Structure 1
Amino acid sequence: MDELKSALDEHMDLMADLVQKLSSELRSGLRPAYDNFIGFFHAIDWKEPFLIGLLTFHAVLLLVTVISRKNTNFQMCLFLLTLIGVYLAERLNSVMGKNWKSFAAQNYFDPSGLFMSVLWSGPLLVIAMIILVNTLFSLCYLIVKWKRAELRHRARAASSKQD
């Protein structure tokens, strides 16, 4: 019994330590993350034509995704294309990093790929998630529709046997 009590006390001390660390981080707030985001946001010249084109591309792709939400086959092709775009982000980052002088005023394409992750892969992944959620809703609707048809068929079959 003493072993159980000591193990429980150790566990409670560990949990108290974790709660204390979490509360101290929460007290410091999200200020460091916010400062990093603001620094990233201000480091980019948002009037560059390739950035405007990139943001327009993502907006059009999102619009196409919303408009074509009833066309499952097209959505699956779009889903695969967005994931291929994410897959190719590293190669695209290296190619654009070598040729940035031809289309940008500064080199946004660092070796770690932060810029490409945030402004290329991030929006593509959000669009892919929207397509995935839409597909799941469509599948749920089809399952309900199929089950209702099955129940109607069984009810007709049962009523025809009674007659």
Structure 2
Amino acid sequence: MEELRSAMEEHMDQMADLVHKLSAELRSGLRPAYENFIGFFHAIDWKEPWLLGLLGFHFLLLLTTITSRKNLNFQMFLFLLALAGVYLAERLNNLLGKNWKSFAGQNYFDPNGLFLSVLWSGPLLFIAIIILINTLFSLCHLIVRWKRAELRHRARLSRNKQE
């Protein structure tokens, strides 16, 4: 019995040590990510006209997505448009990287495409997720309407059979 207690205490000590190490890594792991984000944010000149235009484009697209939430066909068009924009992001990054001097104060377009992924693809994916969630809610509502109609139809059939 003493051996079992000793083994349990040893196991608990190991688990506590693992939890302590994991929490220490998580705490130190978020600080570099935060510092990288702040550095990224401060490295961008947010007053450049093309960046303001890009942010305005994303805002208008989000507003259009929200206002057209009842029109599923238009929502699917916006969904495909957003996904096409994400698909073409690599080509867009290459094109903008070659011609950045004509519209930007500095070259934001690295070969890995981080800048364009954050400021172009990220918002487009966010809008696509909003459209997807809206479509799922609409489909659930449609299924409920269909099931209610089916139940009403069955009730009418059973009343007609009884008469």
Q: State the TM-score, normalized to the length of structure 2.
A: 0.89
Q: Cα RMSD between the aligned structures?
A: 2.0
CA distance in 2, matches of 1:95, 1:129: 27
Unaligned runs of 5+ in 2: 1-10
What stretches of structure 1 move > 4 A for 4+ residues in a row? 11-18
State the one-letter code of the partner of 2:76: M
1:21-55 CA-to-partner distances (Å, cap 9, x unmatched) read 32111332622111111100000000000000000
CA distance in 1, matches of 2:22, 2:99: 44
Unaligned runs of 5+ in 1: 1-10
**Is 1:34 matched with 2:37?**
no
Partner-residue secondary structure (3-state), 2:53: helix
Instruction: Tell me the CA shift for residue 17 of structure 1.
Output: 6.3
Which range moved further: 46-55 or 19-28? Answer: 19-28
Q: Provide the residue aligned with 1:94 in structure 2.
A: 94
State the one-letter code of the partner of 1:132: L
1:60-99 CA-to-partner distances (Å, cap 9, x unmatched) read 0000000000000110011001000000000000000000
Q: State the TM-score, normalized to the length of structure 1.
A: 0.89
**Is 1:110 matched with 2:110?**
yes
State the one-letter code of the partner of 2:123: P
Q: Provide the residue aligned with 1:43 in structure 2.
A: 43
Aligned residues: 156
CA distance in 2, matches of 1:111, 1:29: 26
**Is 1:156 matched with 2:156?**
yes
State the one-letter code of the partner of 2:72: T
